[in-house]
Amino acid sequence: MPAHLLLRLEAPLMSFGTTAVDHRRPVQAWPAVSMLTGLLANALGWDRSQSAALDRLQARIRWAARIDRAGTLLNDFQTAQLSKDDRGWTTRGAVESRGGGDASYESPHLRYRDYRADASVLVALRLEPDAEPPTLAHLAAALEAPRRPLFLGRKGCLPATRISLGLMEASDAVAALDKSSPTDDGDAPGTAAVYFNAGAAEISPQHRMHHTTDERRFDLDVHAGRQTVYERARKVPT
Dihedral in degrees, nearest 10, Cα atoms 102, 88, 12, 135: 130
Domain membership flag for residue 20: yes
DSSP string, 4-36: EEEEEEEEEEE--B---BTTEE-B-SS--HHHH
Question: What is the reported pLDDT for 40?
Answer: 98
Task: Output the domain CATH number for residue 155.
Answer: 3.30.70.2660
Question: What is the reported pLDDT for 91?
Answer: 54
Report the distance separating Cα 139 and Cα 5, nearest Å: 8
Domain membership flag for residue 83: no
Domain membership flag for residue 96: no
Residues in the chain: 238
Question: What is the reported pLDDT for 89?
Answer: 56
Domain membership flag for residue 72: yes
Domain membership flag for residue 203: yes
Domain membership flag for residue 238: no
Domain membership flag for residue 35: yes
Q: Which domain holds residue 32?
A: 3-77+108-231
Question: What is the reported pLDDT for 2?
Answer: 95
Question: What is the reported pLDDT for 137?
Answer: 96
Question: What is the reported pLDDT for 183?
Answer: 80
Give Cα separations from 23 to 10, 19, 26, 77, 138 (angstroms). 26, 11, 10, 10, 37
The one-digit pLDDT tens for each residue of the chain (238 residues) are: 999 999 999 999 999 987 777 677 788 999 999 999 999 999 999 998 899 999 999 999 999 999 999 999 998 887 877 666 666 655 556 666 566 666 666 667 677 889 999 999 999 999 999 999 999 999 999 999 999 999 999 888 999 999 999 999 999 999 999 999 888 776 766 789 999 999 999 999 989 999 998 898 988 888 888 899 999 977 655 5
Domain membership flag for residue 94: no
Question: How many domains are there within the chain?
Answer: 1
Question: What is the reported pLDDT for 152?
Answer: 96
Question: What is the reported pLDDT for 221?
Answer: 81
